[in-house]
Amino acid sequence: KKSELTSIEKYVKHHYAKPSNVTFAKAKGKNVIIIHLESFQQFLIDDKVEGQTVTPFLNSIYHSKSTYSFSNFFHQVGQGKTSDAENMLETGTFGTAQGSLFAQLGSDQTFQAAPAILKQHGNYTSAVFHGNTASFWNRNSTYKNMGYENFFSASDFDVSGDKSTTYGLKDKLLFKDSIKYLQHLQQPFYAKYITVSNHIPYTLDDEDSTFKTPSTGDKTVDNYFKTANYLDQSVEEFFNFLKKSGLYDDSMIVLYGDHYGISNSSNTALAKTFEQDPDHFKEFGSNPTENWNNWDNSQLQRVPLMIHIPGMKDGGIQSQYGGEIDVLPTILHLLGISTKNYIQFGTDLLSKQHDQVVAFRNNDYVTPTYSSIGGKLYDSSGNEITDPNTTFKKKVEKDRKAAKEQLAMSDSLNEKNLLRFYKNPDFKKVNSANYNYSDGLT
């Protein structure tokens, strides 16, 4: 085990990307608010259906100069869905190849995760807000090992009757009813909001939305736009509160989509809505309704990542390729915290040395110039590359190996719980017994 840890350490050192002088510590000392946009895909940004803009508020954040917005950012989850996304953001390691890391390993795992790192480097208070039972995805155990000090879940909110949909408290109420807790957290804080209303089956009461749904013949697709629009309004209301309370100017707000909301089998129905807005669709697939293939599906795995820093004037849309594994080093560097001594498998998206090969959890990968999907190679317009030349073949071999190695190193670390043995001069081990929040029984 010792030798495995040594080779992981070597890999991580070699893979490390040093932060840019321009962005390092840009948000030092600010509160950090993570908004987990459930099932939210990048194509929703700037999208229109039935003559309506789906997410006007998030669009304004996306286009703001106070935001680093990433246009080629991909989810990297496997079966652990939401929990995998959370794991990547909190720890800079991948979810497990099968199942969910939270569910399988979270109760006994040694983590060096964001809430504890921020406690030890900046004295941050930490909290999660989630309008479902605390034990969902084994969060109540996992969060303690990550060093989360507070976890507000279903038992801390009124989730009764029409206040909830299938996956818990409606997003507008989650934000509104959490404010009394948020205001009492000692600053600086690291707070995460896990939204749930934009989750399959995308149902919402009539009183909550007047959004006109399209008619694609696939109810899941049609209703997705309505709940995404509702989520957009929820986030806007939350921002208004942050501004009113004065917290806004002292915070860095990170918004990200955890994974796809529309599964591959529904993508041709989804593509019908793109016909209403063909310009917008260009970057998400080669041809909306004909010849739909795995490459088109892969392009729809883009999710948003927006890092909003009020007062910043030189943000803007970043086109470098990246994925969820890269978020933690990016955020830590913006806060002025070195990641040099941490075992994290992604690289700072804002670093010149950022690695743009994005590994999907199923061993597919995408890069700025080509993608490897289901064993086939595609150029950046989705044409299959059937006869690669020698130079290109070499590049493919190198990237394929790199993507595989990144996943394998992370799996080895997590499956064997090797952080138990890792001595990090910048990190003191978390004692989960220090935290005591609801067991999830409501």
Residues that bind ligand GP9 (CB under 6 A): 81-82, 132, 136-137, 167, 194, 196, 199
Considering the complex, state which of residue 62 and residue 167 has its C-beta at the smaller distance from ligand GP9.
167
Query: Is 38 annotated as ligand-binding?
Result: yes
For ligand GP9, the closer CB: 119 or 199: 199
- State the minimum distance, in angstroms, from the CB of residue 178 to ligand GP9: 15
Q: For residue 82, count CB atoms less than 10 angstroms from its CB and return exposed for 0-12, middle for 13-18, buried for 19 or more.
A: buried
Residue with smaller CB distance to Mn ion, 81 or 302: 81
Residue 324 lies near Mn ion (rule: CB under 5 A): no
150 contacts 171 by C-beta, under 8 angstroms: no
370-400 residues labelled b (16+ CB within 10 A) or e (exposed) = bbbbeeebbeeebeeeeeeeeeeeeebeebb
Site stretch for Mn ion (CB under 5 A), options 116-124, 202-210, 252-260, 292-300: 252-260
Q: Note if 390 is an active site residue.
A: no
Is residue 82 part of the contact set for Mn ion (CB under 5 A)?
A: yes
| Rounded-to-integer distance, Cα 332 and Cα 342, Å | 11
Residues 234 and 165: beta-carbon distance below 8 Å: no
Minimum CB distance to Mn ion, residue 260 (Å): 9
| Alpha-carbon dihedral sign for residues 397, 402, 101, 178 | negative
CA–CA gap between residue 288 and residue 273 (Å, rounded): 9
Cβ at position 350, least distance to Mn ion in Å: 26
Query: Could you tell me which of 427, 432, 438, 435 has the C-alpha nearest to residue 149?
Result: 435
Shortest distance, position 94 Cβ to Mn ion, whole Å: 16
One DSSP character per residue, 3-59 reads: HHHHHHHHHHHHH--PPPTTTTTTTTT-EEEEEEETT--GGGTT-EETTEES-HHHH
Q: Which is nearer to ligand GP9, 132 or 223 (CB)?
A: 132
Q: Would you count residue 364 as binding Mn ion (CB under 5 A)?
A: no
Q: In the bound complex, which residue of the shown chain has the CB atom lying closest to ligand GP9?
A: 81
Is 333 among the annotated ligand-binding positions? Answer: no
What's the min distance (Å) between Cβ of 399 and Mn ion?
28
Q: Is the dihedral of CA 410, 412, 418, 423 positive or negative?
A: negative
Q: Which stretch binds Mn ion (CB under 5 A): 14-22, 74-82, 92-100, 422-430?
A: 74-82
Which CB, 260 or 427, lies closer to Mn ion?
260
Residue 136: name its binding partner from Mn ion, ligand GP9, none (Cβ under 5 to 8 Å by kind).
Answer: ligand GP9
How many helices (DSSP H) and strands (DSSP E) are in the chain?
A: 13, 16
> How far apart, in whole angstroms, are the C-alpha atoms of residue 144 and residue 110?
10
Minimum distance from CB of 137 to ligand GP9 (Å)? Answer: 6
258 binds Mn ion (CB under 5 A): yes
Report whether 415 belongs to an annotated binding site: no
- From the candidates 23, 55, 82, 273, give the one annotated as an active-site residue: 82
CA–CA–CA angle 97, 101, 104 (5° rounding)? 105
Burial pattern 330-368, b for ≥16 Cβ within 10 A else e, equals: bbbbbbebebeebbbbbbbbbbeebbbbbbbbeebbbbe
Is residue 171 involved in binding Mn ion (CB under 5 A)? no
Name which of 97 and 196 has its Cβ closer to ligand GP9: 196
Of ligand GP9, Mn ion, none, which one sits near residue 167, judging by CB under 5 to 8 A according to partner kind?
A: ligand GP9
Q: Which does 23 bind (CB under 5 to 8 A by kind): ligand GP9, Mn ion, none?
A: none
**259 among the known binding-site residues?**
yes
Q: Give the DSSP per-residue string, 78-96.
A: -TTHHHHHHHHHHHSSPPP
Q: How far apart are CA 279 and CA 211, in angstroms?
A: 22
Nearer to ligand GP9, 194 or 334 (CB): 194
Residue 125 contact among ligand GP9, Mn ion, none, beta carbon within 5 to 8 Å by kind: none
**Contact present, 92 and 329 (Cβ < 8 Å):** yes
Number of residues that bind Mn ion (CB under 5 A): 3
132 binds, options ligand GP9, Mn ion, none, Cβ within 5 to 8 A by partner type: ligand GP9
Nearest approach, Cβ of residue 36 and Mn ion (Å) = 8
- Distance from C-alpha of 374 to C-alpha of 294, rounded to nearest angstrom: 7
Tell me whether residue 258 is annotated as binding.
Answer: yes
Strand extents, DSSP E, 116-201: 125-130, 150-152, 164-165, 168-169, 189-194
Binding site for Mn ion (CB under 5 A): 81-82, 258
Which residues fall in the annotated binding site for substrate? 199
Residues with catalytic roles: 82
Which residues fall in the annotated binding site for Mn(2+)? 38, 82, 258-259
Which residues fall in the annotated binding site? 38, 82, 199, 258-259
